[in-house]
Chains A and B, each alone.
Chain A
Amino acid sequence: MKCNETKKKLISYLDSELSKSKMSEVEKHLSECADCQKEKELLEKSWSMLNDIQTPEVSNNFTTNLMARIHIKNEKKSEFSFSAPKFHFHNGFKRLATAAVAACLLVIVYLIVNSYLSDSSYSIEKSSKQKLAVQRVKDTLIKVTDANNKTPVAEVVETIITGEINTENYNIEIVSTNIEIQKQNKLDKSNKTITDSIDKEIILNLEIYENISLYQNYALLDDYDAIKNSKEEAL
C-alpha cells in the first residue's frame, strides 16, 4: 500500500472501520513508513486533544435567568391590549392580522418619530433631519426609511423582535437581541447619502428601547431626553 492510499485510510483505521485485510495492509505500511506513522500520530493526538478541552460548568443561575427572561417577555405580551398575533405565523388569517398590526405600527412609529424630530429639546443635525418610517419587511428585518422618498436609511437585523404599542402613551417597545446595524451604502445616485447622525440616532433609539424593556420601564415622551442623556453618558 502506498503512502497516499494509506493516509486516506488512516482515520478509518484509527476508528477500526476497515476490514481486517485493509487494517493489516495499513499496519504493515505504518511499520515501514515513518512519515505515515507520524501522520497517524498527529491525527490521534489532535483528536484526543478535543477531549482534553476543558468545558466550563454552566452557571448555577442559568435556569433562573432564563425563566426570568421568558417571563418578562410574556408579561409584556399580556399587557398588550390590542391582540396582535405573534410574528411567527402559520396561516393566511394570521398573516393578514399581522399585516394590519404592522401598518398600525408604521403609523404610530411615524407619529412618535415625527414628534421627536419636531421637539426642540431633541434635535438632529439640520442637514440630516428627515422623517423616518419604520417598516417591518419580514420577521427578522426592520427597514428604516426616509418617509418622504423611501430612501433606505438603515436596516436593522434582529434576532427576536417583539413589537408592542402602549396606546395610551404612544411608546414603542422593542425587545431585541443581537441588533446589528447595516448601512445601505450602495444607493442609487438619486438617493440621499446616509448620514452618521441618523444612523446613530437609530441605534440610540433602539438601544434605549431595548434597555427600557429589559427593566420594564415604559419611557414617556417627557423622559426620553433624560434616558437619552444617561445612555450617552454610559456610551
Chain B
Amino acid sequence: MDRLDKDIELMFRFQNGEEHCFEELVERHKQRVFNIAYRYAANVHDAEEIAQQVFINIYNAKQKYKPTAQFTTWLYQICKNTCLKSFRKKKLKIISIHSNTDFERYVLSHQALNSKAINPRDITLNNELNMIIKEAVRSLPDKQRIVLVLRIDEDLSYENISEVTGFSIKAVKSLLHRARIGLKDKLKDYLTK
C-alpha cells in the first residue's frame, strides 16, 4: 500500500477510535513536520515544540479531516498555520537592514546571544553558515517563506503548494521567485567572500 493510501487509512482508523494509528501517523511524518518547523524556529527545542503543537492540533481536529485531498496536504496546511502563529507570537524583531554586511553581523551577534543553544544538536549545527542561511529564510516575508520552505524542504510542486497555501499557481511562482531573489540578496556578501 503506497504512502498516500496508508495515511488515509490510518486517519480513518484514528477517527474511529484507534489511537495507535495516530501514533503511527506521527512516526511517519514527525521528521517532515519538524523540518518545516525548524525553518521557523530559533532552535531545536522551539522547533520540536512547534512540531508537537502541529500534531496536537491534528489530534484535536481529527473529525475535520476529509479524504478529498492527500493527507499531507492537510498536514502541511496545519503545519503552515501553526508555524506562522508561533513565529508571530515570538515576535521576531524586524530590523533595518542597510546592507548585507549589517545583516550578517546581526545574525552572528544574535547567534551569540541565543542562549537556548544548549541542546547538543543545536551546538553542532550552530555554525556560521547554518545560522546565516537560517536567519535569511526567517527574515523573508511570511508568504515567501512558506512557499520557499514547502518547495525546498518538501519538494512540492507548484500545484501542491497552491493547494496547501491557497495561493494561485501564478502567485506561488511569483512568491518563490521573489523569495529566491531575496535570499540571494541576503547572502550575497557571504557568497562573495
Q: Look across to chain B and name the residue whose beta carbon is closest to the beta carbon of A45.
A: B191
Contacts of B86 in A (CB 8 A): 178
Contact count band on A = 20 to 34
What is the minimal beta-carbon distance from B44 to any residue of chain A, in angstroms? 5
**CB pair A159 B125 closer than 8 Å:** no
With A42-B188, A50-B152, A178-B89 as known contacts, state yes or no: A62 contacts B30, CB within 8 Å: yes
Contact A62 B184 (CB under 8 A): no
**Do the beta carbons of B184 and A42 come within 8 Å of each other?**
yes
- Give the number of residue pairs across the A-B interface with Cβ within 8 Å: 89
Set A50, A51, A57, A67: member contacting B183, Cβ < 8 A: A50
CB atoms of A46 and B56 under 8 A apart: no
Tell me, yes or no, whether A34 is within 8 Å of chain B by CB: no
Q: Which residues on the A side are within 8 Å of B191 (C-beta)?
A: 42, 45-46, 49
For the complex, give the distance between the alpha carbons of A51 and B30 in Å: 19
- Are B89 and A159 within 8 A (Cβ)? yes
Task: Give the complex CA separation of A2 and B129 in angstroms.
Answer: 34
Chain A contacts with B in 1-40, Cβ cutoff 8 A: 11
Contact of A159 among B26, B31, B85 (CB under 8 A): B85
Cα of A50 to Cα of B153 in the assembled complex, Å: 9
Contacts of B152 in A (CB 8 A): 50-51
B133 within 8 A of A: yes
Interchain CA distance A53-B153 in the complex, whole Å = 10
Interface residues of A in 42-73 (CB under 8 A from B): 42-43, 45-47, 49-59, 62-63, 65-67, 69-70
CA distance A46 to B137 in the complex (A): 11
Distance between Cα atoms of A109 and B15 in the complex (Å): 35
Say yes or no: B125 contacts A58, CB within 8 Å: no
Within 8 A of A (CB), among B14-56: 23, 26-27, 30-31, 34-35, 38, 44, 48, 51-53, 55-56
Closest B residue, CB atoms, query A157: B89
What is the minimal beta-carbon distance from A90 to any residue of chain B, in angstroms?
Answer: 10
Q: Report which residue of A57, A58, A70 has the largest number of chain B beta carbons within 10 angstroms of its beta carbon.
A: A58
Residue in B35, B181, B184 whose beta carbon sits within 8 Å of that of A55 in the complex: B35
User: Cα distance A177–B89 when bound, in Å?
Assistant: 11
- Residues on A with C-beta less than 8 A from B23 are 63, 67
> DSSP class of A's interface residues: helix, strand, loop or mixed?
helix
Indicate if B130 sits at the interface (CB-CB under 8 A): yes
- Nearest residue, chain A, Cβ from B151: A50
Which of A51, A59, A160 makes the CB contact (< 8 A) with B48? A59
Nearest to B120 among chain A residues (CB) is A56
**With A11-B180, A43-B184, A46-B184 as contacts: A53 and B55 at CB distance below 8 Å:** no
Interface string of B160-193 (1 = CB under 8 A from A): 0000000000000000010011011011100110
Q: Once the chains are docked, how many angstroms separate the CA of A178 from the CA of B130?
A: 27
Contact B30 A58 (CB under 8 A): yes
- A180–B191 Cα distance when bound, in Å, is 39
A70–B48 touching, CB < 8 Å: no
Collect the chain B residues with CB atoms within 8 Å of residue A62's CB.
Answer: 26, 30, 34, 48, 51-52
Q: Does residue A88 face the partner (Cβ distance < 8 Å to B)?
A: yes
Q: Write the nearest CB–CB distance from B146 to chain A, whole angstroms.
A: 14
Q: Which of B52, B85, B188 interacts with A65 by CB under 8 Å?
A: B52
Closest B residue to A49 by CB, please name it. Answer: B133
Residue of A nearest to B122 (CB): A56
Contact assessment for A43 and B180 in the assembled complex, using a CB-CB cutoff below 8 Å: yes
> Which 7 pairs from chain A and chain B are nearest by CB?
A58-B34, A56-B121, A46-B184, A46-B187, A50-B152, A46-B183, A63-B26
Question: Which residues in A have some Cβ–Cβ distance to B below 8 Å?
Answer: 11, 42-43, 45-47, 49-59, 62-63, 65-67, 69-70, 88, 157, 159-160, 177-178, 180
